Amino acid sequence: MAPPVGRDTIVTLRDDRVVPVWLGGDPEGAPVLFHSATPSGRYQAMQMHEAAYGAGVRLISFDRPGYGTAPTTPPGLASVGLDARTVRGALGIREWAVAGISGGGPYAIATAAAEPDHVSRAMVLGGVGPWAEIDPGAGDPEELRLVRQAWGGDLDGALEGFAGYAAQAFDGLLERSDAEIVEVYFAGSEPRDLGWLDATARERWAFDARDALAGYDGYVRDNLSWPGRWDVDLAAVRCPVALVYGDRDRSCPPAYGEWYARQLPTATMTVREGAGHGTICFTDWSAHFAWLTG
């Protein structure tokens, strides 16, 4: 298992939670906050370290509640936006841009909404939307049942249900080799969508997984935070927002991006022909950083 690039620090949040923060890219560069996919943690940002350094970007990522050693909190997006505000202040940053991929996309928007005067630009790449409202028939029926169970007031039962899903998916995973961890994550992916996953990316992926999946609370919390009924004031987002989706993305299809575009008048959307989820989330970061800091 290769050691991480960049360095770690910790930040104490407003309610005394202590969360790990990863710092990479160019230490003197323009700050960009990265919200990782689901399930993953701050070390997923290592995948963009070299692109960030080359673009003159100071890349920052912190563990959302329930990942790694970060204490969990009740499901929700807005609270993570407030966590980001505290991280920004603790690092002495006046203004930054924010990006989120896949399950991190909603948290990028939550960050922009939490402090519109301090977020210059936001980017969502293959970001999940409130699928239980956009197209409930496209989701897993049992997951939809659990989401509606939470909406009906039985949050504990819904949390328990998603914890069972996580156990089925991840129990024993961290006892396996790095190569096996990566294979489990990407089982069923189209080979054309994995061109970015070279030996270094595989090492970094396994490193992040071993840290992020020390427990399942983050995965469970995410899956009850963004299916629908967002607790974010989308009207508060004032910065330019770039939405990037792939027409071959089966995990987060362009319909999610179209939903974001309808809610966010400052958003522009690009759909890449022939691109799947991995391609959208993990390629072209030099260009993405150029836009985020432009």
Distance between CA atoms of residues 56 and 54, nearest Å:
6
Provide the pLDDT for residue 85. Answer: 98
Q: Which residues of the chain have pLDDT under 70?
A: 1-3
Provide the pLDDT for residue 139. Answer: 82
The domain of 50 spans: 7-292
CATH of the domain at 19: 3.40.50.1820
| 233 assigned to some structural domain | yes
| 160 assigned to some structural domain | yes
| 2 assigned to some structural domain | no
| 230 assigned to some structural domain | yes
Provide the pLDDT for residue 1. Answer: 58
| 1 assigned to some structural domain | no
User: Residues 234-264, buried b or exposed e (16+ Cβ, 10 A)?
Assistant: eeebebbbbbbbbebbebbbbebbebbbebb
Provide the pLDDT for residue 2. Answer: 60
| 211 assigned to some structural domain | yes
Q: How many domains is the chain built from?
A: 1
pTM of this structure: 0.97
